[in-house]
Amino acid sequence: MPAEKVLSVNNLFINFKTDNGIVQAVRDVSFDLYEGETLCIVGESGSGKSVTSKAIMGILANNSIIAGGNIIYRGENLLEIAEEEFYKIRGHKIGMIFQDPLSSLNPIVKVGKQITEATMINSDKLKLMYNDLISEDLIRYKNTLARMNIAIDAERKKLDLFEAETKAKRPRSAGDKALLKEKKAAFKEFVKNTKAEYLKEAEELKKILGETEKRAKKQVKEYKVSVERNYKKAMAELKTELARASGAEEKAAIKARIAAEEEEHTNKLKITKEEAKRRALEIMREVGIPEPERRYNQYPFEFSGGMRQRIVIAIALTASPEILICDEPTTALDVTIQAQILELINRIKEERKLSVIFITHDLGVVANMADRVAVMYAGKIVEYGTADEIFYDPRHPYTWALLSSIPDVDSKEKLDAIPGTPPNMIYPPKGDAFAVRSKYAMNIDFREQPGYFKVSDTHYAATWLLHPNAPKVEMPKIVSERIRISLEEDKKREQAK
């Protein structure tokens, strides 16, 4: 039975408004994430990896523009939901580990408090129960308003861009001014019609929400009354037993039962600090922090880089998310600690049945993590396939370049540096963005952007080298040599079994 698809990114375009122009950071990115798998997104700095992950988390900068596409999680488009709903997803369903643990942690707050912070914010179980009961209708109402605002904002951004381009013209004609005036009038009409359409629907949903809130308050009140009634009854019985008890041992046992009943009563209504601490210590042990009882009361500066990263992982795990996004979590760590953190993430993934998006610039790290790999360059995925396909049968010149630059103890070939720098994404290249840095570039690479060519059912690459009419090109010798050595080692391991 095939694994369930938990996340789908489709034709995503993300731009950023800057003083120098519009930066096209993500261009037509699509990928799927399946239950229990690790998808690695690899590429140089500025390739759009982190921007894509921030879009999934809903934490893009204010100057961002979602120019197209969607991000589907459990049937919902994350780009169209209200913040109230995203609040229930971010951290709770989709967790994130950032690349610099020191800047992710508050230096003047003990790590124990930072780990339990989210738990204590959501400690009132009656409030959580009420929110759960009204959430479906509340989200439907808020999402309607959110879709209205998104539609209006999208049109406003188009108008702002057109106005900026018009004002930048030198000289400006009377026709330019008239067209701008016409666009502004059309925008006002659009806002009026859009509000009329959505607010009518929102008004009906608000009435339904009001009825749901009344029922929810009643249910919560009934639950609380029931808990209190059962507690009083149980305590009265235990106190009667205590009054009748004669021996010290019998009294001690009843007192222990009274304490347990009090704790159970409290836990039915809220999460106590003691319970939050118990959970935190449990997670600290899970991520491999020694002496968690002592380290719980320490500050971030008292931990090494690797231990700080374990704390960040612990914070991400407190809400038991089903998707974990790791944004270059080993970049600031030395090689030995890197290996330990990678091993930890792999173990947690298996134990908790997580789906992982792992972002890195290092293909060497990918080899130990990935089920599938997406290679990104200049805001686009240029090659996409299983880990074996990317490492043993790479097809894009950029993938070759990344593999050629990885240090290796077995290969005797000289490492190849990638010449030049990534393009300025305010003015993205017309054709293949990697063409100016590639010794394999053909004339067509500078004129037209290549589409995806199918290598296998799971392997695609966007390069004109795969076109039937393209000349036959051999991959760099250092890459082919490494593939040969790796295949020989795999064969020896199989024979040894």
When mean pLDDT is compared over 40-54, 72-86, 130-144, 474-488, the highest value belongs to 40-54
The model's pLDDT over 316-353, given as tens digits with 9 standing for 90+, comes to 988 889 999 999 888 777 888 888 888 899 999 998 89
Decide if pLDDT at 115 tops 90: yes
* Both tokens assigned to 102: 């020191």
CA distance 444 to 383: 19
Residue 367: pLDDT band (50, 70, 90) is: confident
Angle at 41 (CA atoms; ends 17, 390), nearest 5 degrees = 135
All residues at 6 or more sequence positions from 495 whose CB lies less than 8 Å from its CB, including other chains: none
Rounded distance between C-alpha atoms, residue 154 and residue 160, angstroms:
10
Q: Which two tokens stand for residue 440?
A: 């394999």
- Position 54 confidence tier, pLDDT thresholds 50, 70, 90: very high
Q: Which amino acid is at 194?
A: T
Least confident among 43-52, 297-306, 406-415: 406-415
Structure token digits, residue 426: 């305010």
- 211-241 confidence digits (pLDDT tens): 999 999 999 999 999 999 999 999 999 999 8
What percent of the chain lies above the pLDDT cut of 90?
Answer: 49
Question: Of 216, 229, 208, nearest to 127 (Cα)?
Answer: 216
**Residue in 284, 344, 348, 313 with CA at minimum distance from that of residue 36:** 348
Per-residue pLDDT at 371 exceeds 90: yes
Q: pLDDT value at position 413?
A: 66
> For residue 98, is pLDDT > 60?
yes
The sign of the torsion formed by the CA atoms of 487, 491, 496, 497 equals positive
Is residue 102 pLDDT above 90, yes or no?
no
How buried is residue 240: exposed, middle or buried, by Cβ count under 10 Å (0-12/13-18/19+)?
exposed
Q: How confident is the model at residue 409 (pLDDT cuts 50, 70, 90)?
A: low
Strand order in the sheet with 76-77: 21-34, 5-18, 64-73, 76-77
Give the torsion through C-alpha atoms of 166, 172, 173, 174, to 10 deg. Answer: 70
Please compute the mean of the pLDDT values over residues 142-165 and round it to a whole number.
Answer: 85
Q: Is the pLDDT of residue 408 over 90?
A: no
**Nearest Cα to Cα of residue 473 among 396, 404, 421:** 396
Residue 75 above 60 pLDDT?
A: yes
Structure tokens given for 449 = 């952007």
Q: 373-408 as b/e, with b when 16 or more CB fall inside 10 Å? A: bbbbbbbbbbbbbbbbbbbebbbbbbbbbbbbebeb
Q: What is the pLDDT of residue 1?
A: 45
DSSP per-residue letters across 125-143: HHHHHHHHHHHHHHHHHHH
pLDDT attached to residue 51:
94
Mean residue pLDDT across the chain = 88
* pLDDT > 80? residue 46: yes
493 pLDDT above the threshold of 80: no
- Average pLDDT, stretch 190-209? 92
The helix (run of H) or strand (run of E) holding residue 261 is helix 248-269
Provide mean pLDDT across the span 85-110.
86
The H or E element that residue 112 is part of is helix 111-121
What pLDDT is recorded for position 4?
87
Provide CB contacts within 8 A for 340, sequence distance 6+. Answer: 288, 306
> CA 210, CA 198: separation in Å to the nearest integer?
18
In this structure, the chain runs to a length of 497
| Whether the Cβ atoms of residue 23 and residue 15 lie closer than 8 Å to each other | yes
Helix, strand, coil percentages for the chain (3-state, nearest 5) = 55, 15, 30
pLDDT in tens, 181-194: 899 999 999 999 99
